[in-house]
A and B are shown apart, each in its own frame.
Chain A
């Protein structure tokens, strides 16, 4: 009994020792972990504090950006000795700007390591974000940054420097030469056309269909719908469309057919009214012209489409002509026209919309064919001459491409120089 009691005591003592040891172990382990954690957390700070700031960027230059409209200053520097070399601690450069050499300096840009320049520019609009004015003194410095935002080094301060616009963009000289050549070609061909020279233009199915479609509308006694698209009066496609509208309106006036021109843009509407009015006068039927032939609908894309779709389904025009700039509404309009059984002729320079016109229209003018159409329909010397000049300009460009490819493959250096003539930035 006593033996058993002693055994129990001994086992309890052992258990107590074991538990105490375990507790001691846990406490010592947690202390050690905590100490380790403290050490770990101290290490980066200590090491950063121990690190020196990186070497600064040097040879800082700030100057007005050339060949621009102003409001732009270019900053250049030589890389910090610790950028990709030395302590390798630079991760970026921060560009600081002030109106006084004494500051305060504000950040106007951040570029990654390895960069040696930055263009500090703003829009012309005074209300735009980051706007700065021309002919005002500015001072710059560049800060070589590390992973620690507090650890950086500043370059010397440069300035004062002012931005200003240039009247002549020297970078566009190749374009000026090309436009001069094109202008001379146009003048030559216009003169030849005026002298009665027969300038051949190959037939375009879509163009020839216009007259046929107007005739069909007359026979059926149904109107012609002419849609100028969503472009402004300044878009080239809309301008080409005005010429075609003039031709269509003249035929309509001659055949005494009804014409409907719903417009998206008020200025386009005003120009289109003038075009149609002139066409009716040319056709000898000024009394048939009414201002509401060309009318405004709305400046909202899909509301406009909804209204034109309504016109198509209610008036059932015999012919729909879509010429100009079109966007997401192209297929909606063309599908509705197809459902209404109209003959449809479309033309746009918006490449993503051409496939939709292809599938839903009877004739489609692709890109430049729209511009050619105005010359083809009008047969006026000025338009025919410019079309011929365009063809010759294309031939010159084609020859230039072939010559350039040959040069760059046979005489690489000369070829690169030749190529650089065509690489201009607007």
Chain B
């Protein structure tokens, strides 16, 4: 049984890899299988996790029912009115609630992490000193300066009301360099993690399937 599973996994892996050459019937079959199985899998997961476990067991059969869950259930039912064209407009209400309420909730989180805390962390002594000797800690001082210049120039780059010209444009240019250095570092880091995923697949093909690698 395990051998059959390994063969199926290997054929599907090669089928997906075959897309690197060009679109082909094997890839199409793998794609259809992957999409179909995953859609069905998630439909069942959503049903058991949300409708059965959370709602039915929490609001219907529970000893102390959580009546707030009925609000979610009613909003969910309103969503289904899309299926009846005459009253389809009703489905806009739960949509409006989801988009509006969650945008409002996110707003606080964004303000705290992206604005308030960012500025709080930027405010620091420019000249850092060693706690024991009191001498200037050049490394930390340099780090503070980099953060300061990065935050100021980065904010200037994302200022949309003024054209990037003159001193303002030069500061924005510095902001661009900071962004590019950050993106470059992020790119290298992520590429390495993707390589490890590829190694995992190759290890499966050559080890578990073909038995070349032990």
Contacts and interface: CB of A to CB of B under 8 A. Distances in A.
A298 interface: yes
Contacts of A239: 99, 103
Interface stretch (B2-10, B183-191, B206-214): B183-191
Nearest to B101: A234
A66 to B, nearest CB: 17
Contacts of A310: 23, 27-28, 31
B69 to A, nearest CB: 12
B122 A367 contact: no
Contacts of A418: 123
B148 A398 contact: no
B38 A424 contact: no
B106 A236 contact: yes
B158 to A, nearest CB: 5
Interface in A301-326: 302-304, 306-307, 309-310, 313-314
Interface residues of chain B: helix, strand, loop or mixed (majority): helix
A355 B183 contact: yes
B160 A391 contact: yes
Given A306-B30, A423-B117, A355 B186 contact: yes
B142 to A, nearest CB: 16
Interface in A368-426: 368-369, 372, 376, 387-388, 390-395, 397-398, 400-402, 404-405, 407-409, 412, 415, 418-426
Contact of B39 (A178, A299, A328, A408): A299
A307 B168 CA distance: 45
A199 B182 CA distance: 32
B35 A306 contact: yes
Contacts of A37: none
B112 A424 contact: yes
Interface in A35-69: none
B178 to A, nearest CB: 12
B34 A302 contact: yes
Q: Which of A174, A202, A303 has the most CB of B within 10 A?
A: A303
Contacts of B34: 300, 302-303, 306
Contacts of B84: none
A409 B145 CA distance: 13
B108 interface: yes
17 contacts: A178-B111, A178-B115, A199-B161, A239-B99, A298-B35, A303-B38, A310-B27, A351-B186, A352-B190, A391-B160, A397-B118, A400-B119, A405-B124, A405-B126, A409-B127, A423-B117, A424-B120
Given A368-B158, A392-B161, 17 more contacts: A200-B163, A233-B102, A298-B42, A300-B38, A300-B41, A303-B31, A307-B31, A310-B27, A313-B19, A313-B23, A328-B194, A356-B190, A372-B160, A387-B161, A390-B160, A401-B123, A408-B125
